[in-house]
Amino acid sequence: MSHRSSSSIKALASANLHESGVVSSKPVLIGRSQLIERMRAVIERIAHTNSSVLITGATGTGKEIVARLIHAQSNRAQEPFVDVNCSAIPEALFETEFFGHERGTFTGAHEMRRGLFEQCAGGTLFLDEVDALPLTAQAKLLRVLQERTLRRVGGRENIRTDVRIISSTNRNLQAAIAAGAFRPDLFFRLRVVPIYVPPLAERREDVPLLITHFLGRHAKRTGEKLRSFTPKAVRVMQDHDWAGNVRELENAIEFAVALGMGEQLDVNDLPPNLLPGFEFETAPLIAGSDPSNILRSSLAKRLPLAEVERCYIVAMYELHDKHSINTAAALGIDRRTLYRKLKEYGVG
Amino acid sequence: MHEERNRQTILIVDDSDDIRSILAQMLEIDGYHVEQASDGTEALSTAERIRPNLILMDLRMPMMNGIAATRQLHEHAETREIPVVIVSGLDSEMFRDAAFSVGCAAFLTKPFSTHELQDILKRLLPQHESAPAK
């Protein structure tokens, strides 16, 4: 299953630290930048309404935290918050997952089952990656949102729904509409309140606060002593582009606290891709030659296909003790092709 | 019997005396010459001085971790061709990706068998020079 109930949310929320260091029972947005302050004000203004919210922003920016925060500040805070990743629900299961089914509807349906809408009655349903819903599912969802009633699969009774919908996407839904992949009527129904979560690179001034937050949370979770970063390491993190946003920063800090052994963590403790002038190494791919690692390293290094092919062929050649017939057979290519390629690579 | 001049040198870098000692015994039985360093900083100076054929590098060490040390080894022309095998008790995609991104040749997770280590050494070291002990 791809949705999480409010019990896990409570555990997560209680693990969060407020900026001031005081343990808070609510999810928190970390940051004092103008962009975050503005977003915080919007959340405060709309939390108490029942309006649907569409949260957009790149991956790792914290869209889910925004959703939880809206729920926590709403009149529904004591009711369930159910979070569902739309990309993880197969099209055939959409209806039973969302609307439930009656007993005996299909083989294996020994009992009546309530769907997500009924499970979070009175609460908030968070549709993560809403763009992943297939068009048929979009139509069914739209109908329930318009009519505010649903029917379980195999049921005859119309059941009233009272659910606030918050959805999120990291894609441009307008482009998806233009491409015919997303229904415009559903889009407008979901996006009564649009909230854009900015990438971390647009709010670099929040990086030190986030670092303090994640270090504090790590210390609390592990019981280890609270550590800090040197000013130089903080500067490196502030200057980094953070394509993976807050999640990447969080991972970088996990990396540093796991590998660094000093009380103060320094630049050398950070993941290598954060360091200025960092370039992915390529030579050991050829010299090091473990075919099973080549795909992984190549992806990490964003290598061009020709380079991946070269590394893989050379590695397989080495693995087969430079036996060309065996290598060609393992690669599924003609021996002459192998010769030609090895000659191109200067390998004999 | 193997000739001393033919023996390949492996530098073991680990802050644990016990691990270094066990690894050294395993490798010496297989006929390798072994040198040791107890942290990343010492690894850099030792590697530059003795130019080992291969380095077995722990991940978590004082002074400098194994990934930072591997990165620095690959930044210097004198040491950049030495294959580095990260030997780690920490196994996650995050550490593996970081290790490969700085040019490590293999990632070995503790605990590992003698056979796994031998396979990696066989793959990374030119076999015509190796001379396993009888």
Domain of A221: which CATH number? 1.10.8.60
CB contact under 8 A, A259 and B83: no
DSSP 3-state assignment of A172? coil
pLDDT 10s digits, A89-130: 999 999 999 999 998 888 888 899 999 999 999 999 999 999
Predicted confidence at residue B130, as pLDDT, reads: 46
- Structural domain range at position A212: 204-274
Rounded to the nearest 5 degrees, what angle is found at the Cα of A163, between the Cα atoms of A160 and A168?
140
**Which two three-digit tokens encode residue A302?**
């964003």
Number of domains in chain A: 3
A147 and A7 in one domain?
yes
Per CB-CB distance under 8 Å, the chain B contacts of A287 are: 81, 83, 105, 124
pLDDT 10s digits, B21-72: 999 999 999 999 999 999 999 999 999 999 999 999 999 999 899 999 999 9
The minimum CA-CA distance between A180 and chain B, rounded to whole Å, is: 37
A169 and A76 in one domain?
yes
Rounded to the nearest 5 degrees, what angle is found at the Cα of A13, between the Cα atoms of A96 and A61?
80
Give me the interface pTM, i.e. the ipTM: 0.86
Measured over the CA atoms of residue B49, residue B50, residue B53 and residue B55, the dihedral's sign is: negative
Q: Is the CB of residue A281 less than 8 Å away from at least one CB of chain B? A: yes
A214 and A170 in one domain?
no
A89 and A30 in one domain?
yes
Task: Select the residue of A262, A268, A290 nearest B123 (Cβ to Cβ).
Answer: A290
A251 and A191 in one domain?
no
DSSP 3-state assignment of B34? strand
Tell me the DSSP string of A220-252.
HHH-PPP-EE-HHHHHHHHHS--TTHHHHHHHH
Give the pLDDT of chain A (348 residues) as one tens digit per residue: 445 544 333 333 333 322 333 334 578 899 999 999 999 999 999 999 999 999 999 999 999 999 999 999 999 999 999 999 999 999 999 999 999 999 888 888 889 999 999 999 999 999 999 999 999 999 999 999 999 999 999 999 999 999 999 999 999 999 999 999 999 999 999 999 999 999 999 999 999 999 999 999 999 999 999 999 999 999 999 999 999 999 999 999 999 999 999 899 999 999 999 987 776 665 444 444 566 666 666 666 666 677 778 888 888 887 887 888 888 888 888 888 888 888 777 776
A190 and A43 in one domain?
yes
Measured over the CA atoms of residue A204, residue A207, residue A209 and residue A210, the dihedral's sign is: positive
Question: d(Cα B120, Cα A149) in Å, to the nearest integer?
Answer: 62
Helix, strand, coil % over all residues of chain A, rounded to 5 = 50, 10, 35
**Which residue among A274, A293, A317 closes a domain?**
A274
A315 and A184 in one domain?
no
The minimum CA-CA distance between B40 and chain A, rounded to whole Å, is: 11
CB contact under 8 A, B101 and A251: no
Predicted confidence at residue A325, as pLDDT, reads: 86
The minimum CA-CA distance between B50 and chain A, rounded to whole Å, is: 20
CB contact under 8 A, B101 and A300: yes
A12 and A109 in one domain?
yes
Per DSSP, which regions of chain A are E strands? 3-4, 53-56, 81-85, 124-128, 149-150, 159-160, 164-169, 193-196, 228-229, 264-265
Predicted confidence at residue A342, as pLDDT, reads: 83
Predicted confidence at residue A281, as pLDDT, reads: 60
Predicted confidence at residue A292, as pLDDT, reads: 64
Question: Could you state, in order of their start, the residue ranges of all structural domains in chain B?
Answer: 4-124
Neighbours of A283 (CB within 10 A): 12
A127 and A189 in one domain?
yes
Q: Is the CB of residue B96 less than 8 Å away from at least one CB of chain A? A: yes
Task: Select the residue of A260, A262, A288 nearest B106 (Cβ to Cβ).
Answer: A288
Cα end-to-end distance, chain A, whole Å: 53
A190 and A211 in one domain?
no
**Which residue among A152, A176, A196 closes a domain?**
A196
Task: Select the residue of A269, A272, A319 nearest B101 (Cβ to Cβ).
Answer: A272
A149 and A258 in one domain?
no
A177 and A45 in one domain?
yes
Question: What single letter denotes the amino acid at residue A25?
Answer: S
Q: Is the CB of residue B130 less than 8 Å away from at least one CB of chain A? A: no
Rounded to the nearest 5 degrees, what angle is found at the Cα of A236, between the Cα atoms of A232 and A239?
135
**Which residue among A196, A221, A238 closes a domain?**
A196
Domain B4-124, what fold? Rossmann fold (3.40.50)
pLDDT 10s digits, B89-124: 888 888 998 998 898 999 999 888 889 999 899 889
Q: Is the CB of residue A75 less than 8 Å away from at least one CB of chain B? A: no
